[in-house]
C-alpha cells in the first residue's frame, strides 16, 4: 500500500540496548521527520531530513541518531536506550515544501525497561 509505514509497531527493550525504528514512505517526499509523543509534552521534533544525506536536529535530538541514504527511508536509532526514551515515535513526511501538510505514520510504541 502507498503511504508512510513504520516498523515495528511495538517494541520492548532493555536499558543500554541499541534499537532502530524504521520509517518508509512511497510518495518520494523530500522532507521526513521523527517526533516523539509523551503525555504532558505533546509531540516534539527529534530530527528531520530535507533530502537524502541531509539531516538536521530538532528540539530533542540527544540520544538519537538518524540516517537517510535513500529518499524513501528514514531510520531512527537509539544508540543506548534509556527509560526516558519510552515513548510513542511518529515518522512524518511532506512533499513540496517544508511548510506543506505533514503526513504521519501509525507510530511505534517503544518501552525501555
By CB under 8 A, residue 28 contacts another protein: no
Q: Of 34, 19, 37, 26, which is closest to residue 3 (Cα–Cα)?
A: 26
Residue found under cell 536506550: 81
Tell me how far, at minimum, the Cβ of 3 lies from another protein, in Å.
10
Q: How many residues bind to another protein according to rule CB under 8 A? A: 24
CA 65 to CA 78: how far, in whole Å? 6
By CB under 8 A, residue 98 contacts another protein: yes
Region from 12-20, 41-49, 62-70, 77-85 binding another protein, contact rule CB under 8 A: 41-49
| 8 A C-beta contact, residue 112 and residue 14 | yes
Which position among 41, 79, 80, 96 is part of the footprint of another protein (CB under 8 A)?
41
Length of the chain: 113
CA 85 to CA 106: how far, in whole Å? 18
SS3 65: strand
Tell me how far, at minimum, the Cβ of 107 lies from another protein, in Å.
5
Q: Which 57-86 positions form the footprint of another protein (CB under 8 A)?
A: 58-59
Q: For binding to another protein (CB under 8 A), which residues are involved?
A: 4, 33, 40-45, 48, 56, 58-59, 90, 92, 98-107
Amino acid at each position: 500500500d502507498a503511504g508512510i509505514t513504520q516498523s515495528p509497531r511495538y517494541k520492548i527493550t532493555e536499558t543500554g540496548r541499541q534499537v532502530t525504528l524504521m520509517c518508509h514512505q512511497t510518495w518520494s517526499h523530500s522532507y521526513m521527520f521523527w517526533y516523539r509523543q509523551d503525555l504532558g509534552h505533546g509531540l516534539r521534533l527529534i530530527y528531520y531530513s530535507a533530502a537524502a544525506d541531509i539531516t538536521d536536529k530538532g528540539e530533542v535530538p540527544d540520544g538519537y541518531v538518524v540516517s537517510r541514504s535513500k529518499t524513501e527511508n528514514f531510520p531512527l536509532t537509539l544508540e543506548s536506550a534509556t527509560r526516558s526514551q519510552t515513548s510513542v515515535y511518529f515518522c512524518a513526511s511532506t512533499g513540496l515544501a517544508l511548510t506543506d501538510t505533514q503526513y504521519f505514520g501509525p507510530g511505534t510504541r517503544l518501552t525501555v525497561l
